[in-house]
Amino acid sequence: MKLTVVISQGEEMLIGQVREVPGVVTQGASVDEVMENIQDALEIYFQDIDAGETAINSELNLKDVILTKELEFA
């Protein structure tokens, strides 16, 4: 999966956002630090989604499921 990271200058730190995932925002003192923090934030974001889907899937009737697909991000 390709994601677009937008890094802008904040008042004191660089701010990184993932364009395709609006809830993933982080900051850092350097571009490298922002990219590391983005990776960490994405991992947490997708773990939270997995946990939420597990709760939702336990309530779903399997006959209603059309497709499930795992995505990999780097």
Rounded average pLDDT over 30-48: 89
In a domain, 23, yes or no: yes
In a domain, 19, yes or no: yes
Return the SS3 of 14. Answer: strand
In a domain, 73, yes or no: no
In a domain, 44, yes or no: yes
In a domain, 72, yes or no: no
How far is Cα 49 from Cα 14, in angstroms, rounded to an integer? Answer: 26
The pLDDT value recorded for residue 69 is 52
The pLDDT value recorded for residue 55 is 47
In a domain, 69, yes or no: no
Is residue 9 predicted with pLDDT exceeding 80?
yes
Q: How many domains does the chain have?
A: 1
In a domain, 70, yes or no: no
This prediction has a pTM of 0.65
Domain that holds residue 41: 5-64
In a domain, 12, yes or no: yes
Q: Which residue has the higher pLDDT, 72 or 68?
A: 72
